[in-house]
Each structure stands twice: as structure tokens, then as C-alpha cells.
Amino acid sequence: MRRRDFLTMAAVGGLGAGLGVPAFLRRAAAATPIKIGMPAALSGGYAQYGIQAKRAAELFAKDITAKGGVLGRPVEFLYEDTAGDPATAVRKAQKLVEKDGVKFLTGIALSSEALAVSAKCPEWKVIFMSTINGAGSLTAKAWNRYFFRVNTSGPMGARAISLYLAEGPMKRFFALGSDYAWGRDSVASFTTQITAAKKEIVGTDYPPVGTKDFASYIAKIRQSRADGVYLALPGQDATIYLKQAHQFGLNQEVKPIMEILELENMKAVGDAMVGAIGSSRYPFTVDTPRNRDFVKRFHALHGLYPDMFDGETYEGLEWLAQVIQKAGTDDVEKVIDTWEDSSYEGLEGPFFMRKCDHQAVQLGFAVEAVKDPKYPHPVPKILATYPGEKVTPKCRSEDFS
């Protein structure tokens, strides 16, 4: 190195240290945005989930800007469409990380996408915050340090509804799960827990994903003389089942019990859905001051009521922002350390991020779809609330005992 170069560099270094840099330049450096990447399913059959994540992010961006950002820096969201395909999700996530310099990924819709992206995060050194993905394995077998799950997982939902049914009068259950990982896992988990509660499973079937006509299954469920039918069917399949079961007059005889009771279903099925029970990751009717305010602001922005993943995603983003603020930096390793074993006051109640598998411990809900003249569609009414310790599985596991 030549002497003059050395001097130049020393001078620049000295200036950079803040000795002589004009204030406006320093502020400009500090105001580089914190970027959050959302490789979400915005088109295709699962778009409803990606769109929920995006809606929540839009409201959050508005709120955080009004508060002056995080660490005095603005928050910027970068959306990419994955169409619900795992390979595309990885490609889009990689683009966000490598080209756009994103340190935080969220908004991924499907568990299959989440498993693929989560496996890459240790290599990319970025945080993947799940606010939607249900698969138990994400915080068990497939877990790594860069993965955080803010939402209620599938096994947690199954646990909440099983606890509710264990105390109820229904004795005989039919289980209907879509023929893929989530449907089969949920039915297995439900079967274990319901038989432990001294109840009976009188039949099980696995219709293929995308079934258009459930008439044959409806006939079998009726013949089984079950009191309730447990349904682990993804969005549209559940809508079709409920609509057809209603037309056959089955819903009055055999109570539908949903793995997830979604607003999307309630809007599409309408009054035929009234009476269905199930678990909910986030029922927007929770009566807390924070949630009432959130629902009002959400409705003002989007003109509709928040569904499960609108709420869960908003909570995730708010919590992440608080953690970055507390860490005093957006450095990934420091953010992880700060987040572990931290608490957060969510919309529906307290959250705790346990260190061992980064699963957020939170309330579990059993809900029922009811008619309420205040709303244009049926809404979830809370039947029972369970504390986090009762509905969260053992560390890095999908089991409860």
C-alpha cells in the first residue's frame, strides 16, 4: 500500500467515525430501511393465505410508520409471489435474501413451502418467522435456530379442540382428513387424544385433495351414527364438504368439528356453517382492548374483518419489531438471542417465545360458528380458552405426554 492511499483511507475512516461528517449524511445512513421479505402465495389455489399475510403487513407498515419506524429506521416490505409452490418459494426467498439484502422472511403460506425455506435459513443466516405454518415438524424434527413460529401450530389446534371435546357429551366421532401430510397427521393426532379421553372413533376416511363431491363420504358418516365428524380439510375442500353436508341435512345429525374454523369458510358457506365447532388460531372476536382496536383499524383499512392469519401475521410483525428495538440492532444473531425467552402482549393475550424450539406459547381456543346481526357472515364465538402450557407440545416434539 502506498503512503498516500494509507492517508486517504485514514482520513475517510476518521471522517466516517463521525468527526467531520455533516449531520444530514449520518441521518441518511441511519435511515436505511429494515427490509422484511414476504415470499407469499399471492396467486393460485392458496392465494387466500398469502393475501391475508399481505393485508396484515400493509396495516402494520402504516402503524409502524406512524410511530416513526424501528430504531428510527423505516420498515419496508418486499412481496414475491410463490403461487404456493415449495421450489418457487425457495427461489423467491433466495432472491429476497441475496439480491435485496433481506434479513427477515415471513408470510409463507404452506407448510411444504415453509419446510423447504426453513432448511435454507442457517446457510443464508436470516430469520424465518412463521405466522401461518401448521406442520408440527417445523418446531420438532426439522427445527433450526433461525426458525421462529409465532402462530399456533396444527398439533396445538388439535389439542385445544380435543380438550374441549373431552369434557363434552359427544362420544362417537368420525374422522375425515385430506389425503396428504396435514390431513393424515391431524387425524392421527386427534385419534390419539380423543381415545385417551375415553371416546370412540367409529370411522376414518381420507378423501383426495380437491374432492368436488363428498356425497359418498356423507353417506358413510351418516351410516356410522357418529355424534361428530372431525374435519381436517384445506380451505376449499372444507367449504364444499360443509355446503353439501348441509344439503343432505347431515349437519343437524352429525356436528362438524373443524381442525381450523376459518372466516374464509364462513363467508363462502354462509348460514349453513352455523353450529360448526373447531379450533381457531386467532378468533377476531376475542374481547380484549388491544384486539378491539386492531379489528377497528383493520376494518377501516381493508373493509373486512381479520381472518386467522391476518391476526397472527400482525402479531408476529409487531413482536419482531419490538425485539429489534430491544436488541438495538437488526443483526440477525443478536435479534435471535434477544427474542429467545422473551414475552409479548399479543392481540388476544400473552405470548412467550421459548428458547428450546422457538415455538410461541400462547392461548388455545375452541370456537363455534354463530350468527351475529352485527356481521355480514357467521363469526367465531369462543367456547373455551386454554392456557398456553396446556396446549403447547413438549419441547421439539409434536407430543403432549
Partner 1 sequence: MVEQLLNALTLAGLLFLVSAGLSLVFGILRVVNFAHGVFYMLGAYLGFTTVALSGAFWPALVAVPLVVGTLGALIESSTLRFIYRRPPIYQLLLTFGLALILEEGVRILYGPTAKGIDPPAYLEGAVRLGSLQYPRYRLFVVALGLVVAAAVWLFLRRTRAGLVIRAVAQNSEMADCLGADVARVRTLVFGAACALAGLGGVAAAPMTTAYLGMGIGVIVDAFVVVVIGGLGSIGGSMAGSLIVGAAQTWGAFYLPETAMVIMYAVMGAILIFRPWGLFGEPE
Residues within the interface to partner 1 (CB under 8 A): 43-45, 47-48, 51, 205-208, 210, 212-213, 215-217, 219-220, 235-236, 239-240, 243-244, 247-249, 264, 267-270
Please work out, in degrees rounded to the nearest 5, the angle formed at the alpha carbon of residue 174 by the alpha carbons of 171 and 175. 125
The nearer residue to partner 1, 304 or 370, going by C-beta atoms, is 304
The nearer residue to partner 1, 33 or 210, going by C-beta atoms, is 210
What are the φ and ψ backbone dihedral angles of 139, each rounded to 5 degrees? Answer: -110, 15
Taking the C-alpha atoms of residue 255 and residue 245, their distance in angstroms, rounded to an integer, is: 10
Taking the C-alpha atoms of residue 332 and residue 318, their distance in angstroms, rounded to an integer, is: 17
In the complex, the smallest distance separating the C-beta of residue 211 from partner 1, rounded to whole angstroms, is 8
Among residues 94, 144, 367, the alpha carbon closest in space to that of 257 is found at 367
The nearer residue to partner 1, 48 or 397, going by C-beta atoms, is 48
Taking the C-alpha atoms of residue 148 and residue 146, their distance in angstroms, rounded to an integer, is: 7
In the complex, the smallest distance separating the C-beta of residue 206 from partner 1, rounded to whole angstroms, is 7
What are the φ and ψ backbone dihedral angles of 176, each rounded to 5 degrees? Answer: -125, 110
* CB neighbour list of residue 68: distance below 8 Å, 6 or more residues apart: none
In the complex, the smallest distance separating the C-beta of residue 263 from partner 1, rounded to whole angstroms, is 9
In the complex, the smallest distance separating the C-beta of residue 44 from partner 1, rounded to whole angstroms, is 8
In the complex, the smallest distance separating the C-beta of residue 18 from partner 1, rounded to whole angstroms, is 50
Q: Which three cell numbers stand for residue 12?
A: 475517510
In the complex, the smallest distance separating the C-beta of residue 31 from partner 1, rounded to whole angstroms, is 35
The nearer residue to partner 1, 176 or 360, going by C-beta atoms, is 176
What are the φ and ψ backbone dihedral angles of 146, each rounded to 5 degrees? Answer: -90, 0
The nearer residue to partner 1, 262 or 330, going by C-beta atoms, is 262
The nearer residue to partner 1, 49 or 148, going by C-beta atoms, is 49
The nearer residue to partner 1, 38 or 269, going by C-beta atoms, is 269
Taking the C-alpha atoms of residue 104 and residue 87, their distance in angstroms, rounded to an integer, is: 19
In the complex, the smallest distance separating the C-beta of residue 91 from partner 1, rounded to whole angstroms, is 19
* Core vs surface per residue 337-367: b (16+ CB within 10 A) or e: ebbeebebebbbbebebbeebbbbbbbbbbb
